[in-house]
Amino acid sequence: MNARGDTTALLIRLMPAVFVLIWATGFIVARYGMPHAPPFTFLLWRYGLSIVCFGVWIVAAGVRWPATRQQWWHLGVTGVLMHAGYLGGVWAAVKDGMGSGLSALIVGVQPVLTAVWLSTVGATAGASVSRRQWMGLLLGFTGLVLVVSRKLVAGSPGDHVTWTNVLWAMMALVSITAGTLYQKRYVQPCDVRTANTVQLMAAALVTLPLALLETETLRWNAQSAGAMVWSVLGLTLGGSSLLYLLIQRGAAASVASLMYLVPPTTAVMAWVLFDEPITVVTVAGIALTAFGVSLVVRSGGRAR
């Protein structure tokens, strides 16, 4: 293999790690931006600015748009689920007072929910989850509980659980799970830039009426502007694009299992940035989660 091929192979191997690092910053961004903005207005700005950035990139690169109406439709559905549904649910739950520990735990059920679907409904389409993967999923979830256990027990300032924010978090869980499965099943491979743009346009259309109902205004300052810049450039252009590529390349259960690594990575980031303590239990949870995910990913070839 030539040098260019070696570089490409290395980048492909690094994609999961880079995705986890970027996706884990979502809670960091929420901590910076959420006190200064209503959730759906912030997300609408994020979608709009991301569409502009992708549009410039698409024109400059001369990329082709999806060729069929059916492909546009499938991309639109995934956009509503994986952007509007998932992000809207998480941000609305956090804004309503739910702590990051509980919201991370609820959304963290996604790999198990994905595996249940593949083992039942998905089995008719040839999808399956091996025993080793089930063990990895359960170990990963146990590790996730250990990582967020301190926040679940101690809570945080303003931590407040209501039926409303629990329903928002559950909507996020169902949306990201359904979106991952739907994209893997129906979306044909196409350029990640145009695919993401179509998804974002659909998400913006769904989010617009919710943003218009919000009475709080978005207050621009250093924190909200910084959160917006990273949300657009890092999380959407970077993280969402990597997630799209990973779903196209990998098995659904293996890709979903990467979400287990997000809360532990966020815990480390919060320790570095905000001096949030990391206990022995947290370290044990991180190790257990990493081991569980490794079991799922190493046997991922069977979960198609």
Residues 67, 32: Cα–Cα separation, whole Å: 40
Give the chain's radius of gyration (CA, Å). Answer: 19
The residue among 176, 145, 140 whose CA lies nearest residue 252 is 176
Which string of DSSP letters, residue by residue, matches the chain? --HHHHHHHHHHHHHHHHHHHHHHHHHHHHHHHGGGS-HHHHHHHHHHHHHHHHHHHHHHHTPPPPSSHHHHHHHHHHHIIIIIIHHHHHHHHHHTT--HHHHHHHHTTHHHHHHHHHHTTGGGGT----HHHHHHHHHHHHHHHHHHHHHHHH--TT----HHHHHHHHHHHHHHHHHHHHHHHHPPP--HHHHHHHHHHHHHHHHHHHHHH--SPP--SHHHHHHHHHIIIIIIIIIIHHHHHHHHHS-HHHHHHGGGGHHHHHHHHHHHHH-----HHHHHHHHHHHHHHHHHHHTGGG--
pLDDT at 3: 56
Q: Quick one: CA torsion of 223, 228, 231, 233, rounded to 10 degrees?
A: -110
Token duo for residue 154:
């101690």
pLDDT at 124: 46
Q: What is the separation of C-alpha 30 from the centre of its chain, rounded to a whole number of angstroms?
A: 13
Residues 209, 203: Cα–Cα separation, whole Å: 11
pLDDT along the chain (304 residues), means of 10: 59 78 81 86 96 95 91 96 93 81 73 70 56 76 74 56 83 90 86 94 97 94 92 91 79 66 78 74 78 66 42
Count Cβ atoms below 10 Å from residue 275 Cβ, excluding itself.
7
pTM across the whole model:
0.80
Is-contact 148 289, C-beta < 8 A?
Answer: no
pLDDT at 158: 47
Count Cβ atoms below 10 Å from residue 283 Cβ, excluding itself.
15
